[in-house]
Amino acid sequence: MAYQSFENLEVWKRSCRLSVAVMNHIKAISNYPLKDQMTRSSISISSNIAEGQERDSNGDYIRFLRIAKGSCAELRTQRYLASETSIPPSEAAKIHIQETKEISKMLQGLIRSLQPA
């Protein structure tokens, strides 16, 4: 696999933007455990993309991309929960949920591109 910096990956860029958007939007959440977990899962997406890309094997890279995809689903679930319990549903919540769906699709495409034919 030819080296490509994770900073060049659109999925990494989008996951970083999503993380920042989520963290900025949830500042007012009083439910600290949910707020903390949403912060952690949002950070985990881009962090796992980066960590996996820096590994020396496709197998490790794919494993970390799958972890990132799982964190994306976790964030989506937490965003639903926050909308129902801590923050009134908003346009931002809808955007965050849609973005997690799109990032998951991008991650799946990247995983498929790395798997042997």
pLDDT given for residue 17 in this prediction: 98
Spell out the domain ranges in the chain.
7-114
Collapsed DSSP state (helix, strand, coil) of residue 83: helix
pLDDT given for residue 1 in this prediction: 47
The pTM of the full predicted model, rounded to 2 decimals, is 0.91
- Per-residue pLDDT in tens (0 to 9) along the chain, 117 residues: 455 799 999 999 999 999 999 999 888 888 889 999 999 999 999 999 999 999 989 999 999 999 999 999 999 999 998 887 766 667 888 899 999 999 999 999 999 999 987
Architecture of domain 7-114: Up-down Bundle (1.20)
Cα separation, 39 vs 37, whole angstroms: 5
